[in-house]
Amino acid sequence: MLEQVMPNVYKIEIPLPGNPLKALNSYLIKGRGRNLLIDTGMNREECRRAMYAGLRELGVDLRETDFFITHMHADHSGLVAELAAETSSVYCSGPDAAVINASEGWEEMVVFARRCGFPEVSLRDAIKKHPGYKYSSRGRIAFTIVNEGDTISIGDYTFRCVSTPGHTAGHMCLYEPGCKVLVAGDHILGNITPNISLWSDDRNPLDEYLHSLDKVAGLDVRLVLPGHRDLLEDCGKRIDELRRHHRARAEEVVSILAGGRQNAYQVAAQMSWDLTYDSWDQFPVAQKWFATGEAIAHLKYLEGKRVVRRETVDGQIVFALN
**Structural domain spans, the chain:** 2-247
> What number is the average pLDDT over the span 30-58?
97
Strand partners, 144: 91
Quick: pLDDT tens for 81-106.
999 999 999 999 999 999 999 866 78
Is the confidence at residue 174, as pLDDT, over 90?
A: yes
The candidate with the shortest Cα–Cα distance to 187, out of 235, 220, 155, is 235
Homologous superfamily, domain 2-247 = Ribonuclease Z/Hydroxyacylglutathione hydrolase-like (3.60.15.10)
pLDDT of residue 130: 86
Position 246 confidence tier, pLDDT thresholds 50, 70, 90: very high
Confidence label for 8 from pLDDT (cuts 50, 70 and 90): very high
Please check whether residue 41 is in contact with residue 24, taking contact to mean a CB–CB distance below 8 angstroms. yes
Sheet holding 157-163, edge to edge: 151-154, 157-163, 172-176, 181-185, 223-226
Count of Cβ atoms closer than 10 Å to residue 188 Cβ: 26
Cβ-proximal residues to 302 (8 Å cutoff; 6+ apart), any chain: 250, 253, 254, 308, 319
118: amino acid identity, one letter: F
Q: Give the pLDDT score at 251.
A: 98
